[in-house]
């Protein structure tokens, strides 16, 4: 069965530091890839998506993600974290004809 892993359950960074959240997926076919963010008590908001083409994609709020086919990874990055970025982040993968599969999420805490 297809699966999505996010190895880090909880990450803490200082405000202004860089951030990388990891996401790996199983299964051979190239999927469609998404990152969502969830603020406390809220639904999920789409940050960015990758379908094809340039493997570095830009999203909202200054986030970017890079697709690496050889590593089956789609890591999320931000060069300088803001306190308002504290939230939970979910990687999601969709294969053709299949429903979305979500990772377990990574909770980000930001130190002042």
Partner 1 sequence: DVKVTQSSRYLVKRTGEKVFLECVQDMDHENMFWYRQDPGLGLRLIYFSYDVKMKEKGDIPEGYSVSREKKERFSLILESASTNQTSMYLCASSFDRTLYNSPLHFGNGTRLTVT
41: left (phi over 0), alpha (psi -120 to 50) or beta: left
Q: How far is residue 94's CA from residue 14's CA, in Å, rounded to a whole number?
A: 32
Angle at 110 between CA 104 and CA 112, to 5 degrees: 170
Q: How far is residue 62's CA from residue 14's CA, in Å, rounded to a whole number?
A: 17
Q: Which of residues 50-109 bind partner 1 (CB under 8 A)?
A: 51, 90, 92, 94-97, 99-100, 102-105
Q: Name which of 13 and 32 has its Cβ closer to partner 1.
A: 32
Site string for partner 1, 20-49 (x = CB under 8 A): ------------x-x-x----xxxxxx--x
Judged by the rule CB under 8 A, the positions of this chain that interact with partner 1 are 9, 32, 34, 36, 41-46, 49, 51, 90, 92, 94-97, 99-100, 102-105
């Amino acid at each position: 069965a297809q699966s999505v892993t996010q190895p880090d359950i909880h990450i803490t960074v200082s405000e202004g530091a860089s951030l990388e959240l990891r996401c790996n997926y199983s299964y051979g076919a190239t999927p469609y890839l998404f990152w969502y963010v969830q603020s406390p008590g809220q639904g999920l908001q789409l940050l960015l998506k990758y379908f094809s083409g340039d493997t570095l994609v830009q999203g909202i709020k200054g986030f970017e993600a890079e697709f690496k086919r050889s590593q089956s990874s789609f890591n999320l990055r931000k060069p300088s974290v803001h306190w308002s970025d504290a939230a939970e982040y979910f990687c999601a993968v969709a294969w053709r004809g299949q429903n979305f599969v979500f990772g377990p999420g990574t909770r980000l805490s930001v130190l002042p």
